[in-house]
Amino acid sequence: MTEQLARVRNLRISFGGTTVVDGVSFEVGAGECLALVGESGSGKTITSRALLGLVPRSATISADELSVAGEAATEFDESHWQGIRGRRVGLVAQDALVSLDPLRTIGQEVGEVLRVHSRREKKPLSRQELAAAVQAELAHVAIPQPVSRARQYAHELSGGLRQRALIAAATIARPRLLIADEPTTALDLGIQAQVLDLLDTLKREGTGLILISHDLAVVARIADRVAVMQHGRIVETGDAASVLSAPKHEYTRSLLAATPGLHAKGERLGTLPPVVLAPAAPVDRSSTVLSVRGVSQSFRQPGGGRIQAVDAVSFDLRAGSTIGIVGESGSGKTTLGRIILGLQKPDAGEVLLDGAAWSALPERRRRERRHSIQAVYQDPLSSFDPRLTVGAILRESLALTGVARADLKARAAELASQVGLGGELLARRPLTLSGGQRQRVAIARALARNPRVLLCDEPVSALDVSIQAQVLDLFADIQAQLGLAMVFISHDLGVIHHVSDEVLVMSNGVVVERGPSGDVFSSPRHPYTQALLSALPDPLSTLEGAPS
Amino acid sequence: MSVGRPDLLELARPAAGRRRRTVPPVGAVAGVVLGVLVLAAVLPWIFTGADPLATATSDSQLPPSLEHLFGTDKLGRDVFSRVVHGAGLSLSFGFTATLAALILGILIGVASGLAPRPVDNVIMRALEIALAFPELLVALVVIALLGPGTTNVIVAITVAAVPVYARVVRITTIQVRQSAFIEASVALGQHRVAIVLKHLLPNVIGPLLVLATIGIGTSIIAGSGLSFLGLGPVSPTPEWGLMLSDGRNSLGTAWWIAVFPGLAITVTVISTTVLGRYLQGRFEGRAR
Q: How many Cα atoms are found within 13 Å in the side-chain-facing hemisphere of A186?
A: 13
- Identify the band that residue A548 occupies on the pLDDT scale cut at 50, 70 and 90: very low
Report ipTM for this prediction. Answer: 0.75
Angle between helices B240-247 and B79-114 (to 10 degrees): 130
Cβ pair A386:B1 closer than 8 A: no
Q: Counting beta carbons within 10 angstroms of the beta carbon of residue A185, is it exposed (0 to 12), middle (13 to 18) or buried (19 or more)?
A: middle
Q: Is the pLDDT of residue A454 over 90?
A: yes
Average pLDDT over residues A480-494: 90
Name which of B6, B186, B203 is nearest A387 (Cβ-Cβ): B203
User: Buried b / exposed e across A68-77, counting CB within 10 Å, b at 16+?
Assistant: bbeeebbebe
pLDDT (0 to 100) of residue B31? 87
C-alpha span between A192 and B61 (Å, rounded)? 85
pLDDT (0 to 100) of residue B158? 94
Q: Provide, as residue numbers in chain A, all residues whose Cβ is less than 8 Å from the Cβ of B8.
A: 57-58
Interface of B with A in 201-240 (CB under 8 A): 202-203, 206
Query: Is residue A245 within 8 Å of residue A33, measured between CB atoms?
Result: no
Q: Measured at the alpha carbon of residue B37, what is the angle toward residues B34 and B41, in degrees to the nearest 5?
A: 140
Q: Is the pLDDT of residue A382 over 70?
A: yes
pLDDT (0 to 100) of residue B14? 40
Q: Provide, as residue numbers in chain B, all residues whose Cβ is less than 8 Å from the Cβ of A444.
A: none
The neighbour count for residue B2, using CB atoms within 10 Å, is: 11
Q: Provide, as residue numbers in chain A, all residues whose Cβ is less than 8 Å from the Cβ of B183.
A: 343, 383
Q: Label the pairing between strands A208-213 and A33-37.
A: parallel
C-alpha span between A194 and A199 (Å, rounded)? 9
Tens digits of per-residue pLDDT, A312-333?
A: 999 999 998 999 999 887 788 9
* Chain B, nearest residue to A455 by Cα: B187
Cβ pair A377:B180 closer than 8 A: yes
The answer, yes or no, to whether the previous bond of B236 is cis (omega within 30 of 0) is: yes
User: Buried b / exposed e across B245-273, counting CB within 10 Å, b at 16+?
Assistant: bbbeeeeeebebbbbbbbebbeebbebbb
In Å, how far is A76's CA from the nearest CA of chain B? 8
Residues of A at the B interface (Cβ-Cβ below 8 Å)?
16, 50, 55, 57-64, 66, 73-74, 341-343, 363, 367-368, 370-371, 373-375, 377, 379, 382-387, 396-397, 400, 445, 449
Tens digits of per-residue pLDDT, A25-51?
A: 999 999 999 999 988 888 888 999 999
* Chain A, nearest residue to B11 by Cα: A58
Nearest Cα neighbor of A380 from A270, A460, A324, A451 is: A460
C-alpha span between A323 and A339 (Å, rounded)? 16
* Chain A, nearest residue to B200 by Cα: A385
| A151 phi and psi angles, rounded to 5 deg | -90, -5
Task: Compare A36 and A160 and report the one with higher pLDDT.
Answer: A36
pLDDT (0 to 100) of residue A330? 78
Q: Measured at the alpha carbon of residue A34, what is the angle toward residues A30 and A36, in degrees to the nearest 5?
A: 150
Cβ pair B184:A375 closer than 8 A: yes
Nearest Cα neighbor of A504 from A494, A519, A488, A515 is: A515
* Chain A, nearest residue to B7 by Cα: A60
Q: Provide, as residue numbers in chain A, all residues whose Cβ is less than 8 Å from the Cβ of B286.
A: none
Question: Which residues, in sequence order, are CB contacts of A447 under 8 Å at separation 6+?
Answer: A277, A374, A415, A418, A419, A478, A482
Name which of A57, A368, A383 is nearest B184 (Cβ-Cβ): A383
Q: How many Cα atoms are found within 13 Å in the side-chain-facing hemisphere of A407?
A: 11
Name which of B12, B13, B188 is nearest A400 (Cβ-Cβ): B188
In Å, how far is A135's CA from the nearest CA of chain B? 38
In Å, how far is B92's CA from the nearest CA of chain A? 31
Q: Provide, as residue numbers in chain A, all residues whose Cβ is less than 8 Å from the Cβ of B202.
A: 385, 387
Name which of B1, B185, B199 is nearest A62 (Cβ-Cβ): B1
- Rounded to the nearest angstrom, the gap between the alpha carbon of residue B154 and the centroid of all alpha carbons in its chain is 13
Q: Label the pairing between strands A322-326 and A348-353.
A: unpaired
C-alpha span between A127 and B250 (Å, rounded)? 71
Beta bridge partners of B115: none
pLDDT (0 to 100) of residue B284? 62
Average pLDDT over residues A357-376: 92
C-alpha span between A423 and A505 (Å, rounded)? 40
Q: Measured at the alpha carbon of residue A37, what is the angle toward residues A35 and A38, in degrees to the nearest 5?
A: 165
How high is the mean pLDDT in each 10-residue block of chain B (288 residues)?
A: 39 41 71 89 83 81 83 85 89 91 94 93 93 89 91 92 92 91 92 92 84 86 90 87 87 87 92 84 57
Specify the amino acid at residue B123: I
Alpha-carbon distance values, B218 to A294, A358, B179, B236 (Å)? 59, 52, 32, 25
Q: Provide, as residue numbers in chain B, all residues whose Cβ is less than 8 Å from the Cβ of A365.
A: none
| B255 phi and psi angles, rounded to 5 deg | -60, -30
Alpha-carbon distance values, A237 to A8, A26, A92, A227 (Å)? 14, 9, 23, 4
Name which of A341, A342, A384 is nearest B181 (Cβ-Cβ): A384
Q: DSSP states of A269-334 as a string?
A: -SSSPPP--PPPPPP-TTSEEEEEEEEEEEEE-TTSSEEEEEEEEEEEEETT-EEEEE--TTSSHH
User: Buried b / exposed e across A80-101, counting CB within 10 Å, b at 16+?
Assistant: ebeebbbbbbbbbbbebeebbe
Category of A56 on φ-ψ map: left (φ > 0), alpha (ψ -120 to 50) or beta: beta
Question: Which residues, in sequence order, are CB contacts of A263 under 8 Å at separation 6+?
Answer: A257, A269, A498
The neighbour count for residue B121, using CB atoms within 10 Å, is: 12
Q: DSSP states of A74-119 as a string?
A: GG--HHHHHHHBTTTEEEE-S-HHHHS-TTSBHHHHHHHHHHHHHH
Q: Is the pLDDT of residue A546 over 50?
A: no
Tens digits of per-residue pLDDT, A222-263?
A: 899 999 999 999 999 999 888 888 889 988 888 888 877 655
Cβ pair A396:B198 closer than 8 A: yes
In Å, how far is B9's CA from the nearest CA of chain A? 5
- Identify the band that residue A266 occupies on the pLDDT scale cut at 50, 70 and 90: low
Specify the amino acid at residue B100: A
Cβ pair A387:B192 closer than 8 A: no
Beta bridge partners of A486: A322, A454
What percent of chain A is helix, strand and coil (3-state, nearest 5)?
40, 25, 35
C-alpha span between A64 and B118 (Å, rounded)? 70
Residues above pLDDT 90, as percent of chain A: 43
Cβ pair A57:B8 closer than 8 A: yes
Specify the amino acid at residue A228: V
Share the mean pLDDT of chain A: 87
Cβ pair A400:B183 closer than 8 A: no
Cβ pair A370:B189 closer than 8 A: yes
pLDDT (0 to 100) of residue B90? 87
Query: What is the radius of gyration, based on Cα positions, of chain A?
Result: 25
Cβ pair B1:A382 closer than 8 A: no
Cβ pair A387:B206 closer than 8 A: yes
Query: Is residue B127 within 8 Å of residue B167, measured between CB atoms?
Result: yes
C-alpha span between B172 and B205 (Å, rounded)? 9
Question: Which residues, in sequence order, are CB contacts of B68 under 8 Å at separation 6+?
Answer: B50, B59, B62, B78, B79, B80
C-alpha span between B162 and B152 (Å, rounded)? 15
Which DSSP category does A3 fall into?
P
Q: Is the pLDDT of residue A335 over 70?
A: yes
Share the mean pLDDT of chain B: 84
Query: Is residue A141 within 8 Å of residue A71, measured between CB atoms?
Result: no
C-alpha span between A185 and A374 (Å, rounded)? 28
Task: Compare A344 and A282 and report the one with higher pLDDT.
Answer: A344
Query: Is residue A143 within 8 Å of residue A162, measured between CB atoms?
Result: no
Record the pTM: 0.78
Q: Is the pLDDT of residue A547 over 50?
A: no
Query: Is residue A154 within 8 Å of residue A166, measured between CB atoms?
Result: no
Query: Is residue A94 within 8 Å of residue A181, measured between CB atoms?
Result: yes
Nearest Cα neighbor of A81 from A70, A96, A68 is: A68
Q: Provide, as residue numbers in chain A, all residues whose Cβ is less than 8 Å from the Cβ of B287.
A: 386
Count A/B contacts: CB-CB distance under 8 Å.
86
- Rounded to the nearest angstrom, the gap between the alpha carbon of residue A331 and the centroid of all alpha carbons in its chain is 17
Query: Is residue A451 within 8 Å of residue A369, measured between CB atoms?
Result: no
Q: Is the pLDDT of residue A370 over 80?
A: yes
Q: How many Cα atoms are found within 13 Å in the side-chain-facing hemisphere of A306?
A: 10
Average pLDDT over residues A117-142: 90
pLDDT (0 to 100) of residue A379? 86
